[in-house]
Each structure stands twice: as structure tokens, then as C-alpha cells.
Amino acid sequence: MKADHQITAGFMPLLDSALIVAAKERGFAEAEGIDLTLARETSWANIRDRLAVGHFQVAHMLAPMPIACNLGLTPLASRTIVPMALGLGGNGVTVSLALWQQMEEHGARNDLDAAANGRALKAIVEKRVQAKGTRLRFAVVHPHSGHNYELRYWLAACDVDVERSIEIVILPPPLMADALWAGNIDGYCVGEPWNTAAVAQSFGHIATCKAAIWRSSPEKVLGAQERWAESHPEPLSALLRALYRAALWCAEPANREELARLLSSPTYVNRPMEWMLPALSGDIRVSTEKIVRVDDFFVPHAKAATFPWKSHALWFYTQMVRWGHIGHDKANETVVRNSYRPDLYRAALKPLGVALPGANAKVEGALKVATPVGSSGASLTLGPDGLFDGGLFDPDQIDAYIAAQARPPRP
Amino acid sequence: MTLRALTVLVIDENRLRASIIETGLREAGHQNVTIIHDINGIARRIQDINPDVIVIDLGNPNRDMLENMFQLSRAVKRPIAMFVDRSDVASIEAAVEAGVSAYVVDGLKQERVKPILDMAVSRFNAYSRLQRELDDARSELESRKLVERAKGILMRSKGLSEESAYALLRKTAMNQNRKIAEIAQSLITAADLLDSGTGPGTGDDR
């Protein structure tokens, strides 16, 4: 069969490239008439640049990245839209064994608990500041990443003065574990399998995870060059349907081993298959001795995991404002709102007769239990989606949310 | 009015390519050129060098870290933007195509930086061409070695002269519409299998 559409997608070697990889390798793209080429990249900057010049039509992107592009925060940018998310969750925070030992002395728990482990970290940070010692150094993959914003949210909610009492540096995901081993950093927040990598090699301990900080929260998205998306509605719709079916396939426990094997191959993540399994099964090996069950560690399909909620985009925007990446005004807020495109998602998936959320945005953190919600098509269940500190984000109350998080001016 | 000479920093882990660019810059009259191969301690180096233009290889896995650093005023005294002019789409495409990115300090005149970027692009392309030629030469040499070995096998097994052995290889390749090196490779693989696979218990007979 000759393909109707040629699409090239950039991706980074991470477990949450699963949907894109499965769409190609399991034939979902081909079935939609797409000849899908996947190109592995070495940096998010390359993904952004190659999307901008049209080498890629779409890419595996950090959820805040397209927003940063459209707000003009990046050195090179073209208008990038988000017609689909690529699952929920998938990150962890890993610390060195030395730091974990100190954290345990301050009440840290071996069960990924964000509150207890954040408090322990706060105590250590405090001591270091008092002793005028070196600050703890954490790495994240990009300034405009879910990792950076969730690490900061977690620590700030535990009363850590993020800007002054710790240091946050940028490192590419595959180098995180090596940097921890070499003692260049004390901890990091990254997607799988790069947390498991440190535990498997016996020099790291997973302290908490994205699902513990904010359950069912956004992580990677499909970024599409706006110019291409507007002039190629058919190929884009076909790709979204292929990715939706890929998400269903990834979510099926019977396919777990095959997915792990696919991802571990040299073309994709190029690391042992055993490193892929914890995130896919939810049995997270937090240390060499202990496995913790996390039901929502990585969610490829359930809970509308591929729906591009505008409230997700807006939450990232509030954090960009909070940490000084951008100023808040109505024009910026509008740019952010228009970056995520649930309308394109609905238009593409409607023919499949699947469950589609009725709303474009929701109050984040409001669902304490799994809740059936208004949807078109089949029935849809969302949540639980709580933030560990009980926080709520109402996208209709954005000014109040930003004001409440404003940092006191520096003395 | 004489303009202050620009300070150019080239960050490239590939030493050969970096020196090709350095030579080009010096030939173009840029004397303040620094090359960094290793990104260890780079924040401090950049602070000391205080570059006007930074050229980076797109394959560098630390680009995200470097960009973040350029945007932090602590490491770099003046904010740095990527490329000369965002609206110059052709230049941007040429650079990404060549695998190079350039960052310049804010406010630097476009006409002063454009030649540097153009030079980096053409040198990156020249390097890729050189690399391709080297790869081709290497695979050419490999092919020749394969054909020599395959000829030897045919000469021994079929008692052919060197000339006839080559003719047989060529004829087979033409009949199957494949490259002569491919035929040689399958012949060698088959011969290797037969040599070692004489069946269980016979391994030490020879």
C-alpha cells in the first residue's frame, strides 16, 4: 500500500515516546495511510529548531515547550500547537544515596510520599543554609519542562526557598544518572527510564514521583508546526487517530513486554528492557531493596490521557509567571490558551466514536476519586488528580492563583 | 570609525571540525577565536571569554544547558539571542541543515555577524563532505578486501585462476542484479559457516 501522507516526527530517547514509537512499529500510522519517519534527537533545542525549519512536522515535546515558543521565550521559534497530549505522568525525582540517607534521618519515607520526603529535604536544605554550606544541586532537563515546574512546585509547597537555597541546573536526560554517580549533582527530576537507571546501577534512590506530587498530570505532548497543521488538516487528523490507537495498545497490560522490548531497542531508548518495565507496570523500584506500587505512574490512555486540556497549558503558564520566565497579562494568557487545540483533537477522533471530554478545561486537583464526567461518545472517567498539598487550580481564577503564588520581593 | 574586533567562541566536541572552522575564521580576519571541546566548567570559561558570537554543533547533547546558561545573566554579561536575524529564514534553514547553531549578543549589527554564520555553515558542510568521502573511501577499501577474500575461496574450492574467479563473481553479481561486494560477502559468510559447522562431535577432527 502506498502511503498518502509523509510525516517526520522528532523524539527524545524517553519512555514516554511510547505512543509515537508504537504508532510506527505496530502499524497504526500505516493503517491511517501515513508513512511515519521517527528521528531521535540529542536535545530539546534540536527538536524545536528542526520543527521550526520544517525537517519535522510534529514532535514529542515537553508540555510547556510549545507555550514557551509561542510566547517568544526561545531563541528560535515558530508557532507550535498542541493537538494532543502523549499521556500523563512518567517522571520521578531521584537523589544520591548519600542525600537519601540524610533524608531518612529527617523522616523521609521509603514509599515516594511527596509531603514527608519534601519536609525531610527542607530540613536538610535549611541546615546547609544555616551552616553556609554548599547548596544542594538538582538537575532538570529544560527550563520550560514539567520537570522544572513540578520540582519547584513540590519544594516550594514544602516551604523551600527554591530560588535561594537550592541550585537547579539543566542536563540532558541520558546524562542524569551519570552526573549523579559522578557526584556533580545531588538529585534530579527526569522521565523514565532515567530514574530506574540510577536505582538499577545502585547509586540512586527515587524519592518521589510526578504521580505523587500531582496525580494524572501532564508531561509530554505532540507539538505540531502550526503552519503545517493548518495546511495539512487531513494528515494531522490521521496521525491523531493513529496515536490514539497506539495509546490504547500501550495501555493494554498484555502488550507491556513487547512495548518494553520495542523501546529498549537501539533505535529508540537503547537501554535494557528491564529499565522500561517499572514505569509501564507501575511497580517502581525505588531502591535496590524496595518496590512501591504506583497505579498512575505513567498513564498512556485512561482518564483522557491524550486530551490537550487548556487548563494544563494555563497551569504551566502560571508557573512560568511564578518563576519569572514571563510576565502575566491578558495577551500572554490568550497566546497560551490558543496553543493547546482540543478542537483539533475532537475533530480527528469524532469518527472513532470514542469518549471525548465535553469541556476544554477543568479545575485541576479537584477530583479526589475516579469520577464519571460529561462526554460525547462512550462514557469517560477522570481522576483522581489531586495535588499533594491539596492545591486547586481553577483556570477561570487565573489572576488569583498567580497572585497567591507571587514571591515576596528579594530584600 | 574602527569597530572593536569580535570575540568568537566555537563549542565543538569534534576537534577536526573545530579546527577547520577556526582556520576559516582566522583567514577571514577574526583573531579573537576560542575553541572549547569539553563543556566541563564552561560557565566560567564563557564568563572569562565574554564572547560576542558563539557557534555550537547541533549534535551537542548539552545544547539545552548551554542555551539556559546564555539566558542567565550570571554566566553571560549580555543576553544572547540565537542567530543573526529571526526573519532571515534562509540563513536559519541553511544553518540547521548544516548542523550548526549560532548565538550572538543582543544589539550586535547583523552585517557584522552574518559573514561569521555563513562561514560556519560552509565549513560545517565542507566537513560533512569530507567525512562522507572518507566513509566512502573506507567502504571502497572494505569492498576490495571482501572481493579478494571471495576470489581466494573460489580459487581454492573450484580450482579456478584468479581471473576466472573474478569473472565468476562478476557474472553472478550481474545475474542477480547485486553488487559484486555483496556477492563476495555472502560467499564468505557461507564458507565460514561450512568451515565451522561440520556437525556435532567433529569440531576437533581437523
Q: What is the ipTM of this complex?
A: 0.89
Mind telling me how many Å the CA of A65 is from chain B's nearest CA?
12
Dump pLDDT digits (tens) for A10-54: 999 999 999 999 999 999 999 999 999 999 999 999 999 999 999
Residue B149 pLDDT class (50, 70, 90 cuts): very high
Residue B204 pLDDT class (50, 70, 90 cuts): very low
The answer to whether residue A167 scores a pLDDT higher than 80 is yes
Provide the phi-psi class of B109: left if phi over 0, else alpha when psi is between -120 and 50, else beta.
Answer: beta
Dump pLDDT digits (tens) for A58-69: 999 999 999 999
The answer to whether residue B106 scores a pLDDT higher than 80 is no
Which residues of B are less than 8 Å from A46 in CB distance?
Answer: 58, 63
Cβ separation of B63 and A42 shorter than 8 Å? yes
- State chain A's mean pLDDT as an integer: 95
Residue type, A376: S
Burial class (CB in 10 A: 0-12, 13-18, 19+), A404: exposed
| Mean pLDDT, range A218-237, rounded to an integer | 97
The answer to whether residue B72 scores a pLDDT higher than 70 is no
B window 97-136, beta carbon within 8 A of A: 97, 101, 103
For chain B, say whether A173 makes contact (Cβ under 8 Å): no
Q: Which pLDDT belongs to residue A88?
A: 97
Mind telling me how many Å the CA of B202 is from chain A's nearest CA?
37
Between the alpha carbon of residue A153 and those of residues A43, A138, A162, A164, the distances in Å are 24, 14, 9, 15
For chain B, say whether A75 makes contact (Cβ under 8 Å): yes
Domains and CATH numbers, chain A: 5-88+218-269+300-354 (3.40.190.10), 91-213 (3.40.190.10)
The answer to whether residue B200 scores a pLDDT higher than 50 is no
Domains and CATH numbers, chain B: 8-131 (3.40.50), 136-195 (1.10.10.10)
Q: Which pLDDT belongs to residue B114?
A: 84
Spatial contact of A119 and A158, defined as CB atoms under 8 Å apart: yes
Q: Which helix (H) or strand (E) holds A147?
A: helix A146-157
Which of B56, B64, B70 is most worth mutating to test chain A (most A CB atoms within 10 A of its CB)? B64
Which residues of A are less than 8 Å from B71 in CB distance?
Answer: 143
Cβ separation of B63 and A175 shorter than 8 Å? no
Q: Which residue has the higher pLDDT, B30 or B77?
A: B30
The answer to whether residue A96 scores a pLDDT higher than 60 is yes
Chain A residue with minimum CA distance to B104? A75
Dump pLDDT digits (tens) for A110-154: 999 999 999 999 999 999 999 988 999 999 999 999 999 999 999
Q: Which pLDDT belongs to residue B195?
A: 63
CA distance A22 to A300: 11
Residue A198 pLDDT class (50, 70, 90 cuts): very high
Cβ separation of A53 and B92 shorter than 8 Å? yes
Mind telling me how many Å the CA of B166 is from chain A's nearest CA?
38
Q: Which pLDDT belongs to residue B16?
A: 86
As a whole-number percent, the residues of chain A with pLDDT over 70 amount to: 98
Chain A residue with minimum CA distance to B57? A46
Q: Which residue has the higher pLDDT, A231 or B97?
A: A231
Which residues of B are less than 8 Å from A54 in CB distance?
Answer: 93
Least confident of A359-373, A383-397, B176-190: B176-190
